[in-house]
Structure 1
Amino acid sequence: MAELHHECGIAAVYHLPSAETSSFAPRGDANQASRVIPRILLDIQNRGQLAAGMTTFSTERNQLIDTHKDVGSVSEVFHLNHPRKTDALMAEYAGRAAIGHVRYATCGKDDRSYAQPFERHHIERSKWFSFAFNGQLSNYLDLRKEILAETDFHLARETDTEILMHLICQELTSDPRMDPADLLSNLAKRLDGAYNIVYLNARGDMFVSRDPLGIRPLCYVVDGPEEAPNMVVAASESVALANLGFPEENIKSLEPGTAIVIRDGKFSIKRYAESPRRAHCFFEWIYFANAASTLDDRSVYLSRKRLGEELAKQEDLEIDDDTIVVPVPDTAKGAAASMAYELNVPCLEGLLRNRYAGRTFIDSTNRADKVRMKYTPLPEVLEGKKVLLVEDTIVRSTTMQVLISQLRERGKAKEVHIRVACPPIVAPCFYGIDMSTIEELFAPRFMPGTELTPEHEAEMAASIGADSLRYLPLDSIARSVQFDSSELCQACIDQKYPTPAGERLYQLAVGNHERGESGRTYDAAEPAASVRT
């Protein structure tokens, strides 16, 4: 499903100065946190391919914290295909602490100035800091209006990351040596949305925080006993930590409303805000996260496997010798294989993905050309077959229409039946996924509200050229991810937003849609008179 994009991913590494060198430090050198960050970012690049960067800390250079970032993939930004350039870069940015980021933007421009981490220079070390941010502030416009109401204030970028940097600066102005938990507690009173943060200052202090609802995942591992660790590593997904060599059983999810704090070389985990409820984004398990990750103790792969079982349970198509299951690469593979197993039919790769076609959501303006570049149907697999094409979700339908046409014309499939391992997407996301209007969504054109009927599915199938289309019901998500639905954010499929600003933006989106107005909901929104959290 080449239609949906996540905001970003974050990482942090700290070799604690009071401890012995960790066995996981590259080359046994505790001053090489810079070498760990690109390895982590490669493993979470599924979360953002637009830009990458890192900030490191070292007392052995004038630039106590220094940032390297640019537009491009992790390999491009860190010159990983050129060993000499990589070694020179790692030596230049050597340090015992580092934070990192990969970006795909849901707001802001596609240039280097928007790449993260954001570094803010200051002569006072406590006020010289860098940070990176995963998520999206739903009350961005409220905060922006509040800041610009001050006559001498100016914002140079249209991004909530700059808003967050300004708010951190405000807190440090009042107390430069403020405890990180207090700083985060003050921020939490003003922020609405999803916000995981990694932060590093010129004193060598670091914090890694997860928002009180736990909307986006954040994992960490401690090498050595927590009371006196050698090394602490954090990343948006567990797979990045496992691939460093840490035992799976040692990798944990950071509790919502808590932060890893390293201050004056001492490690602790502190609660900075109450977590009245959980609102984990279900899309992390069914689409965004690496299948090898485990988030909040739930396996991504097993969740997708259970989605396939759910699809098989509701299948009413007559199965014959010509029936095959074909996944849309790559995130639908787990569900497709599981569905095929339950139905006792072959699961075949009738579509191959060209991994070197580039980012189709950036490169070309012709959707059909982009799909032809990215996917190749195999007539030797598809010809004369009744194809159950399994997709993780349908957002805008444009890719799916072209895929169905390609399966018929180039693949020579006899029938194409779409099976979607997700309920219909009926509402925008305001927490870090690139879909902010009702107008751009496929399902609301055919179904009012969240009630789906066979008639709706038949109309949808006809509109995209499929022989049939089936979605999963709403309650299948909680069963598959194995959380109670009250612990998940499912706003895009049930229209129930977990925060006040998200709900307010949704009501604006509904009004815009009813009036036939185009453009992002954020752009059309009138900020509220006061910030609501």
Structure 2
Amino acid sequence: MKEKCGIFGAYSQDATKKTYYGLMALQHRGQEGAGISVWDGDIRTVKGHGLVSEVFKGGSIRRLNGNPVIGHVRYSTSGSLSEVQPLEVECCGYKVSIAHNGTLTNFLPLRRFYESRGFKFRSSIDTEVIAVSFLNHYSELKDEFEAMSRVFEEVKGAYSVLMLFNGKLIAVRDPVGFRPLSFGAGDGYYFSSEDSALRMFCTNIRDVSPGEVIVVKDGEAESKIVGRSEHAYCVFEYIYFARPDSIINGISVYWARYRMGVELARESPAEGDVVIAVPDSGRTAALGFAHESGIPYMEGLIKNRYIGRTFIMPSGREIKVRLKLSPVKEVIKGRRIVLVDDSIVRGTTMKNIVKMLRDAGAREVHVRIASPPIRYPCYMGIDIPTRHELIAAWKSIEEIKKEIGADSLAYLSVEGLKRAIGTDKLCMACLTGNYPEWAFDFKV
């Protein structure tokens, strides 16, 4: 389960270089493709498959000079180079480059609507629909804010967006605020999926508000909130996606994860000799669990950080897990292990980790998950498998415990998760099956 992408934009001196560094800081949000668009009197774009350092190797970044600049890192492994963002889109006599984080819930009906009006799409991804909608309304209204207000009425789902348009940098966050977007000011103006990528360049940083549009032109930034709705922030930004040092919607990701571990220890204590984490995503919650329970925390699994994206993995999930993780036998042998992770999706990886710990001599393995069971698919931009692949959709907790081979298994409750994050303005559809009505309330 992974989130699809990250976006970064700069209106400043050395905007291209800063966008490159910004994308490097967002590499955890996508490793399968990267791209940068610059404005130098026209839009120029360089993009490709691979990591940021692979796409822009050999000095290619030095040939992209311009201001403003937007960039994108992409997760999805499918599609041709035309699917890698930013996308250049032409419509109604105008041209825009767009980078998008999220997923539209009314992509297909909206695409058919514009196709019926004669527009020919060049890609198969929903990002292009946002650009077409914007350019269509701008051609009538001649105002970026009013055009985006129409887009908000028309386009539903999750979308944080950066666009290059006529020498301007436009930043947009959908009215629900599903996906995060941060805004920083200093020697210029900067935007990023996470504020942690902005701290290299500025200290005056805030969230872009849901429904807010910011237009940067001629060295000045103008902001308006043009779309309003009940907010529903993606809960998995806090559980898994974001870097621990990020602050999203005014909430520290690190402390949210730490509190998840604390709440988990209170709700579902375990008798163990040592707490260990599944690195890296389970580490902060494991620290919270250890501190609250009084059971010492130790590094019992070491992650191999040198298996590159292009490494040819042998077949078999168990071998893949053992290549990625290695047990510290001196920590594990003869001990009762409390194993903390952020989530269980299919269950196969956890099953192999439990087996690995037993093979290393663990006396008992008690699994604690710092989020509720994932039982439903996501339609707002998370690559969650179909429901029949989700182990918690069809098995009870007791059945999952037996499937993964643990001595005990417990998940954090929905209420415990809310307490840990500190807000109930969350989209938790993948956990509860309660999908935000606004995201599906559309007409074309």
**TM-score, structure 2 normalization:** 0.94
1:90-489 alignment runs, 5 A limit: 90-105=61-76, 109-120=78-89, 127-150=94-117, 152-174=118-140, 178-201=142-165, 203-223=166-186, 230-242=187-199, 244-247=200-203, 250-274=204-228, 276-319=229-272, 323-359=273-309, 366-409=316-359, 411-435=360-384, 437-446=386-395, 456-483=396-423, 485=424, 487-489=425-427
Structure 2 residue matching 1:399: 3-state secondary structure: helix
Aligned letter for 1:14?
Y
Moved over 4 A (4+): 121-124, 359-365, 500-503
> Percent sequence identity over matched residues?
37
Q: Deviations over 1:247-284 (max 9, x none)?
A: 2xx2100110001112354321112212x311011111
CA contact (8 A) 2:38 2:67 kept: yes
Q: Provide the residue aligned with 1:25 in structure 2.
A: none
Distance between the aligned counterparts of 1:338 and 1:180, measured in 2?
46
Aligned letter for 2:32?
L
Q: Provide the residue aligned with 1:513 in structure 2.
A: none
Distance 1:302 1:361, change over 3 A: farther
Distance 1:357 1:310, change over 3 A: same
CA contact (8 A) 2:184 2:190 kept: yes
Q: Deviations over 1:315-369 (max 9, x none)?
A: 34334xxx11110000111110111122222211111111122349995653222
Distance between the aligned counterparts of 1:109 and 1:154, measured in 2?
21
CA contact (8 A) 1:430 1:502 kept: no
Distance 1:362 1:239, change over 3 A: farther
Q: Provide the residue aligned with 1:5 in structure 2.
A: 2
CA contact (8 A) 2:211 2:225 kept: yes
CA contact (8 A) 1:457 1:468 kept: no
Q: Give the Å deviation of 1:423.
A: 0.6
Q: Deviations over 1:282-339 (max 9, x none)?
A: 11111100000111110000001101101111234334xxx11110000111110111
Q: Give the Å deviation of 1:240.
A: 0.5
Give the length in aligned residue pairs: 444
Aligned letter for 1:385?
R
CA contact (8 A) 2:270 2:338 kept: no
CA contact (8 A) 2:270 2:366 kept: no
Q: Provide the residue aligned with 1:67 in structure 2.
A: 45
Any gaps of 5 or more consecutive residues in structure 1? 16-29, 80-84, 224-229, 447-455, 504-530
Q: Give the Å deviation of 1:501.
A: 5.3
Structure 1 residue matching 2:128: 3-state secondary structure: helix
CA contact (8 A) 2:160 2:174 kept: yes
Q: Give the Å deviation of 1:426.
A: 1.1
Distance between the aligned counterparts of 1:122 and 1:494, measured in 2?
40
**TM-score, structure 1 normalization:** 0.79
Distance 1:398 1:218, change over 3 A: same
Counterpart among 16, 31, 34 of residue 49 in structure 1: 31
CA contact (8 A) 1:9 1:101 kept: yes
Any gaps of 5 or more consecutive residues in structure 2? none
Q: Deviations over 1:450-488 (max 9, x none)?
A: xxxxxx3222100111111000111011111111x2x11
Q: Compute the RMSD of aligned alpha carbons.
A: 2.2
